[in-house]
Amino acid sequence: MPKLVLVIANKNYSSWSLRPWMALTMAGIPFDEKMVRFGEPQFGQEIRKISPAGRVPVLLHGKLVIWDSLAILDYLAEIFPGKNLWPKSKAARATARSVSNEIHSGFSDLRSACPMNLRRPSKVVKMSDAANADVSRIEALWRDCRKTYGKGGKFLFGKFSIADAMYAPIVSRFETYSIPVAKDSREYMANITSTRAFQTWKAEALGEPWIVPEDEVD
């Protein structure tokens, strides 16, 4: 099998890059990474050489180019079926896909109010009613998934899955912006942030010297 290469942007800022990176790492799937940095004048030109979509992340697998975080994750689940990146049962898998697609296409008010920035000192920001509604919805999703499918495990569906990878950047936002959440949400967040994969990503993000305006990140 050809080597997998994951093209990402700055670890401090790129929430969409974190998602497949964390899934690959948690699953123990070998891959190389290539960084194309936000804020550089040639960012758009360089990433379009790799993918005409002009966005990160991108997965390169031989001659195949897969773009978009969720498409990458679904492709990985297909080529590594033994890793069970989606839950095994049909009902759990359908729910995992639903919650993953909801974060993929929604919660724009929260994302706008709280851009990913792991180096930002933990501090509360004023949030709109719409952003607070996003937080409430996310907590409800986490609670329902863990209650229905996650018993006996630390994550949304027990074992770490694509759904957890999709929500990992939300966990980081809740931490960074000191967003008040319920005890069970805080417990789930700790389960994500205590993984070696998240800790490695964060340590490397904190070591990056580059500062990029918030309107230039994803």
CATH number, position 10: 3.40.30.10
Two structure tokens written together for 151: 């018993």
Distance between CA 172 and CA 169 in Å, rounded? 5
- CATH code for the domain in which residue 110 is found: 1.20.1050.10
In tens digits, the chain (218 residues) has pLDDT values of: 899 999 999 999 999 999 999 999 999 999 999 999 998 888 888 899 999 899 999 999 999 999 999 999 999 999 999 999 999 999 999 999 999 999 999 999 999 999 999 999 988 889 999 999 999 999 999 999 999 999 989 999 999 999 999 999 999 999 999 999 999 999 999 999 999 999 999 999 999 999 887 655 66
Look up the domain containing 158 and give its range.
Answer: 90-200
68 and 148 in a common domain:
no
Quick one: 196 and 94 in the same domain?
Answer: yes
Domain count, the chain: 2
Is 187 found in the same domain as 108?
Answer: yes
- Amino acid occupying residue 99: V
Shared-domain flag, residues 75 and 141? no
Phi/psi for 129 (5° steps) reads: -60, -35
Residues 76 and 104 in one domain: no
How far, in Å, CA of 116 to CA of 120, rounded? 9
